[in-house]
Structure 1
Amino acid sequence: MLELIDIGFEVEGKKILRKITMKFEEGKKYSILGMNGAGKSTIAYVIMGLEGYKPTAGKIYLDGEDITDLPVSERAKRGITLLWQEPARFRGLTVKDYLTLGGKLNIKKDEIAQILELVGLSPLLYMNRTVDESLSGGERKRIELASVLLLKPRYAILDEPDSGIDIMSLDMIKNVIDWIFDHGGTPILITHREEVALETDESYLVCRGIILKRGKSKDLVEYYRTTCDKCDHINLPVENKVERK
Structure 2
Amino acid sequence: MNDPLLRVEQLHVSREGVPILQGVNLQAQAGEITGVLGRNGAGKSTLAYALMGLPAYAPSKGCIRFAGEDITDWSITERAQGGLTLAWQHPARYEGITVRDYLKLSASGAGEAELTESLELVQLAPSYLDRLVDKALSGGERKRIELASVYLMHPKLAILDEPDSGVDLLALGDILSLFRRLAQEGSGVLIITHREDVASQCHRSYLMCRGHIILEGSAEAVKRYFLSQCEPCGDNAPEMSGEVAKRV
**Is the TM value for this pair above 0.5?**
yes
Q: 1:228 matched to which residue of 2?
A: 230
The CA distance in 2 between the partners of 1:133 and 1:45, in whole Å, is 26
Q: 1:130 matched to which residue of 2?
A: 132
What CA RMSD, in Å, does the superposition of the two structures yield over aligned residues?
1.6
In the alignment, which of 197, 200, 214 is matched to residue 199 of structure 2?
Answer: 197
Shift of 1:229: 4.0
Q: 1:210 matched to which residue of 2?
A: 212
Q: 1:29 matched to which residue of 2?
A: 33
Shift of 1:168: 2.2
Q: What is the CA deviation profile of residues 66-123 of structure 1, one whole-angstrom value per residue up to 9, with x for unaligned ones? A: 1111111111111111000001111110000010029x71001101101101111101
In the alignment, which of 64, 67, 72 is matched to residue 63 of structure 1?
Answer: 67
Q: Give the letter aligned to residue 41 of structure 1.
A: S
Where does 1:47-196 land on structure 2 (aligned, <5 Å)?
Answer: 47-101=51-105, 105-124=108-127, 126-196=128-198
Of residues 112-121 and 162-171 in structure 1, the stretch that sits farther from structure 2 once superposed is: 162-171
Q: What is the CA deviation profile of residues 167-186 of structure 1, one whole-angstrom value per residue up to 9, with x for unaligned ones? A: 22221122111111121111
The CA distance in 2 between the partners of 1:204 and 1:136, in whole Å, is 31
Q: What is the CA deviation profile of residues 177-196 of structure 1, one whole-angstrom value per residue up to 9, with x for unaligned ones? A: 11111211111101011110
The CA distance in 2 between the partners of 1:59 and 1:193, in whole Å, is 28
Q: Give the letter aligned to residue 152 of structure 1.
A: H
Moved >3 Å (runs of 4+): 229-234, 236-240
Q: What is the CA deviation profile of residues 10-58 of structure 1, one whole-angstrom value per residue up to 9, with x for unaligned ones? A: 1122100000111112232100000011001110110110131111111
Identity %: 45
Q: 1:40 matched to which residue of 2?
A: 44
Shift of 1:228: 1.0
Q: 2:12 matched to which residue of 1?
A: 8
Shift of 1:230: 6.5
Shift of 1:238: 3.7
Q: Is the 8 A contact 2:40 2:232 kept in 1?
A: no
Give the secondary-structure state (helix, strand or coil) at the position aligned to 1:100.
helix
Question: How many pairs does the alignment contain?
Answer: 237
Q: What is the CA deviation profile of residues 194-226 of structure 1, one whole-angstrom value per residue up to 9, with x for unaligned ones? A: 110011011110000001111111000000011
Q: 2:246 matched to which residue of 1?
A: none
Give the secondary-structure state (helix, strand or coil) at the position aligned to 2:41.
coil
Of residues 68-77 and 166-175 in structure 1, the stretch that sits farther from structure 2 once superposed is: 166-175
Q: Give the letter aligned to residue 36 of structure 2.
A: I
The CA distance in 1 between the partners of 2:190 and 2:167, in whole Å, is 18
Q: 1:243 matched to which residue of 2?
A: none
Gaps of 5+ in 1: 241-245
The CA distance in 2 between the partners of 1:205 and 1:182, in whole Å, is 24
Give the secondary-structure state (helix, strand or coil) at the position aligned to 1:127.
helix
Of residues 14-23 and 168-177 in structure 1, the stretch that sits farther from structure 2 once superposed is: 168-177
